[in-house]
């Protein structure tokens, strides 16, 4: 899978680079995206979005043959 990404899997800094990138992404969501949502999207609209995402969350569950996140499976 990493063939098309031009990633050197033997690069020792790869895990730390991933952690740094993930932290930046999380901070963006916490500081910018969620603040924008609170300032610009009504509570009613937010609830509709949440409901739509919840429905979508379960649409493709049958595609997972290995439920590794479930204990005992």
Instruction: In whole angstroms, give the CA distance from residue 1 to residue 22.
Output: 19
Please, what is the end-to-end C-alpha distance for the chain in angstroms? 25
pLDDT single digits (tens) 1-44 = 445 667 777 888 888 989 999 999 999 999 998 899 889 999 99
The pTM is what? 0.45
Instruction: In whole angstroms, give the CA distance from residue 38 to residue 32.
Output: 10
Instruction: In whole angstroms, give the CA distance from residue 52 to residue 58.
Output: 11
- The helix or strand, by DSSP H or E, that contains position 23, with its residue range, turns out to be helix 14-28
Asked whether 7 and 14 are in contact (CB, 8 A), the reply is yes
pLDDT single digits (tens) 38-69 = 899 999 998 998 888 887 666 666 666 777 77
């Amino acid at each position: 899978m990493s063939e098309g990404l031009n990633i050197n899997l033997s690069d020792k800094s790869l895990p730390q680079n991933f952690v740094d990138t993930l932290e930046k992404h999380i901070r963006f969501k916490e500081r910018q995206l969620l603040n924008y949502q609170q300032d610009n999207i009504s509570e009613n609209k937010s609830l509709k979005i949440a409901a739509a995402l919840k429905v979508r969350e379960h649409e493709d569950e049958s595609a997972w043959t290995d439920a590794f996140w479930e204990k005992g499976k």
